[in-house]
């Protein structure tokens, strides 16, 4: 029954109420293009073998912080830009750590004091690189700079986590001996002082990489992987759990099949890995036991490994959201649509909650989802890129979905020239949307304001298959369902598009809804059954 509900309620091939009422809910407030000569590709956004791409963050005053890499000085430097919420440039900081060699940012974090912590790689020579941590104050001045570690010729930090006291935890990898790497976890205090580290290796696999780390219940959980191509190929997932003072609590190594490209740790310590070559997601518990596998299949031939999971996030209830590119069905036929944006919401048990797919032109034009952000009301934004012609040329693309996986708005934008690609997205508490990425090789950052322009007087009343009364209502609402024999659902929305109440209906002639806790105001409802829907407006007195 659960899967049937998903198909009926969340099918993406019919017009939804939110499409009717809420298109153009977002308006571009400002757009800033900074001449920073960033690399206009997206492989770095979703590849564990590449440095991380740009990131966008908001401080406590909703100023916009953009972090990434810049080649405007001839070599790669850390780039940090701060904009006010109205789009004015406050400051820009280029950080050349290695003095004319290449430096690559891999992470950025804003602490409770609005200080900015960035991590990355400083390539001191062709044979050496160091993991670096830098803290800047809210004026862009460098407070301190620390390196990890002089014991190794080179090291790469992949991810960071910061606790409430400002302590910094990194995971990544270091060289061990020729052609081998080891996963590391380390801690620095809020002043940049090195506290402890742990280096993990195993005998039979030659390359280990830490991917992501998360603080949970006074412990630090770090997720990584190990692989080898000689003498025998093999892949293992690595999960390490430490106390905050560095004692190892547990470690696990679990074999998996496929090409890992994205990872995530949820709020209770479960780990997830997304694949390249298949649109597939694995879930593991804290001890490394596999719980389930979720996959959206396609009929690509075995020698075409193009489906990719580009991002994984989770909500407070343990639901998982994934996006990426998916090639679907019909390979080699006239109905083939090349890469499309795929978004799925999955329950903690691995069941599909909703499926959303975006294609612009279809045919051989590509649409790719790169990053996700979960905002208030369980609105989710997917940022990516979408071709506007068959010969190339990508637009910025952001799609905002509601709690049911239906589009609230679709935003497309083109930079001053060349490809435009969203690499990071975020939202504020009012559901305003902020994106950054590349446009013509420059850093392109935009704000879209949530206009909340839904007008209850414009909600068309449809011929009632179900009767909803009284209207206006006070403490109780009745839904007469005797004319519908199929499984259906009643959904009540407020003017922000948030779901106030929903109820599945089957073999019930009357549904009574206790509305005492519903605030007074204007609402609209949607009733779905089979591939049909009806909607209308309600007033709570």
**Averaged over 317-342, what is the pLDDT?**
84
Q: Picking from 244-253, 450-459, 474-483, which range would have the lowest pLDDT averaged per residue?
A: 450-459
What's the distance, CA 401 to chain centroid? 13
pLDDT at 51: 55
Q: How would DSSP label each residue in 400-463?
A: EE-TTS-EEEEEEE--SSS-EEEEEEEE-TT--EEEEEEETTEEEEEEEEE-----GGG-PPPP
- The per-residue pLDDT for 391 is 61
Q: Which tops the pLDDT comparison, 335 or 382?
A: 382
Give residue 3's pLDDT band: very low, low, confident or very high (50, 70, 90).
Answer: very low
Query: What was the pLDDT predicted at 431?
Result: 93
Reported as a pLDDT band with limits 50, 70 and 90, residue 263 is very high
Residues 377 and 496: beta-carbon distance below 8 Å? yes
Residue 398, pLDDT above cutoff 90: yes
Task: Quote the CA–CA distance of 514 and 133 in Å, as a whole number.
Answer: 54
Segment 110-136 mean pLDDT = 88
What's the chain's Rg over C-alpha atoms?
25
Assess whether pLDDT exceeds 70 at residue 487: no
Q: Which residues of 335-357 are buried (b: 16+ CB within 10 A; e: fewer)?
A: eebbbbbbbbbbbbeeebbbbbb
DSSP codes, 288-339: --EEEEEEE-----TT----EEEEEEE-TTS-EEEEEEE--S-TTSTT---S
422, two tokens: 């969203």
Q: What is the pLDDT of residue 479?
A: 78
pLDDT of residue 334: 67
- Across residues 80-97, what is the average pLDDT? 93
**pLDDT category, 15, cuts 50, 70, 90?**
very low
**pLDDT score for 484:** 62
User: Using an 8 Å Cβ cutoff, are 105 and 79 in contact?
Assistant: yes
What's the pLDDT at 97? 84
- Taking CA atoms, 203 is separated from 183, 210, 522, in Å, by 13, 17, 65
pLDDT at 530: 63
Q: How far apart are CA 473 and CA 15, in angstroms?
A: 28
| Whole-number pLDDT of residue 214 | 96
Flag the least confident range among 110-119, 176-185, 477-486: 477-486
Closest CA to 152 of 125, 121, 174: 174
* pLDDT(465) > 70: no
Distance, CA of 447 to CA of 83 (rounded, Å): 11
Q: Which residue has the higher pLDDT, 70 or 465?
A: 70
Q: Is the pLDDT reported for residue 240 higher than 90?
A: yes
Percent with pLDDT over 90 in the chain: 42
List, for residues 352-384, the tens digit of each pLDDT value.
999 999 988 766 778 899 999 999 888 999 999
User: How would you write 445-460 as a 3-class SS string?
Assistant: EEEEEECCCCCHHHCC
C-alpha distances (whole Å) from 492 to each of 76, 154, 510 are: 51, 56, 17
Burial of 170 (0-12, 13-18, 19+ CB in 10 A): buried
Token reading at 492: 């009540």
Domain 460-540 CATH (choose: 2.60.40.10, 2.60.40.3080, 3.50.50.60, 1.10.3470.10)? 2.60.40.3080
For residue 39, pLDDT over 60 is answered with no
Does 313 have pLDDT greater than 90? yes
Instruction: Please tell me which residue, 357 or 506, carries the higher pLDDT value.
Output: 357
- Predicted TM-score of the model (pTM): 0.80
Assess contact for 101 and 60: CB atoms under 8 A. no
> Which string of b and e fits 220-232 if b means at least 16 CB within 10 Å?
bbbbbbbebeeee
CA distance 269 to 282: 14
Say yes or no to pLDDT of 124 above 90.
Answer: no
Could you give the CA distance from residue 414 to residue 479 in angstroms, rounded to a whole number?
A: 47
């Amino acid at each position: 029954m659960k899967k049937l509900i998903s198909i009926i309620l969340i099918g993406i091939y019919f017009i939804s109420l939110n499409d009717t009422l809420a298109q153009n809910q977002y308006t571009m407030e400002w757009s800033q293009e900074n001449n920073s000569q960033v690399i206009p590709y997206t492989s770095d956004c979703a590849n564990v073998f590449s440095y991380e791409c740009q990131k966008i963050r908001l401080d406590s005053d909703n100023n916009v912080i953009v972090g990434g890499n810049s080649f405007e000085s001839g070599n790669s430097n850390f780039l940090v830009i701060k904009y006010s919420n109205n789009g004015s440039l406050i400051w820009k900081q280029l950080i050349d750590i290695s003095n004319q060699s290449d430096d690559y940012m891999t992470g950025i974090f804003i602490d409770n004091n609005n200080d900015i912590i960035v991590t990355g790689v400083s390539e001191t020579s062709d044979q050496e690189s160091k993991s670096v941590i830098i803290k800047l104050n809210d004026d862009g001045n460098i407070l301190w700079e620390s390196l990890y570690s002089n014991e190794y010729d080179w090291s790469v930090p992949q991810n960071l986590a910061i606790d409430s006291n400002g302590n910094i935890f990194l995971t990544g990898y270091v060289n061990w001996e020729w052609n081998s790497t080891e996963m590391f976890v380390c801690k620095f205090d809020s002043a940049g002082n090195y506290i402890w580290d742990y280096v993990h290796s195993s005998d039979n696999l030659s390359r280990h990489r830490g991917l992501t780390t998360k603080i949970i219940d006074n412990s630090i959980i770090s997720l990584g992987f190990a692989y080898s191509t000689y003498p025998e190929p093999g892949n293992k997932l690595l999960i390490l759990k430490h106390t905050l003072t560095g004692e190892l609590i547990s470690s696990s190594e679990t074999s998996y099949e496929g090409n890992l490209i994205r990872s995530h740790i949820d709020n209770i310590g479960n780990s997830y890995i997304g694949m390249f070559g298949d649109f597939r997601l694995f879930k593991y518990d804290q001890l490394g036991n596999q719980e389930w596998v979720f996959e959206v299949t396609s009929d690509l031939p075995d020698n075409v490994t193009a489906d990719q999971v580009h991002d994984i996030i989770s909500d407070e209830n343990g639901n998982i959201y994934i996006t990426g590119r998916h090639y679907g069905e019909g390979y080699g036929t006239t109905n083939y649509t090349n890469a499309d944006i795929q978004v799925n919401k999955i329950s903690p048990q691995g069941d599909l909650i909703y499926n959303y797919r975006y294609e612009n032109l279809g045919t051989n034009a590509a649409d790719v989802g790169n990053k996700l952000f979960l905002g208030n009301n369980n609105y989710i934004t997917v940022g990516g890129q979408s071709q506007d012609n068959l010969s190339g040329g990508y637009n910025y693309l952001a799609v905002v979905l509601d709690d049911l996986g239906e589009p609230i708005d679709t935003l497309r934008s083109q930079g001053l020239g060349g490809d435009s690609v969203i690499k990071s997205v975020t939202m504020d508490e009012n559901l305003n949307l902020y994106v950054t990425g590349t446009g013509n090789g420059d850093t392109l950052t935009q704000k879209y304001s949530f206009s909340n322009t839904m007008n209850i007087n414009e909600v068309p009343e449809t011929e009632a298959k179900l009767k909803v009364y009284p209207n206006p209502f006070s403490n109780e609402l009745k839904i007469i369902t005797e004319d519908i024999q199929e499984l259906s659902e009643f959904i009540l929305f407020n003017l922000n598009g948030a779901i106030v109440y929903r109820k599945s209906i089957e073999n019930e002639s009357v549904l009574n809804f206790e509305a005492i806790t519903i605030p007074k105001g204007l609402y609209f409802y949607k009733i779905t059954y089979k591939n049909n829907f009806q909607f209308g407006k309600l007033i709570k007195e």
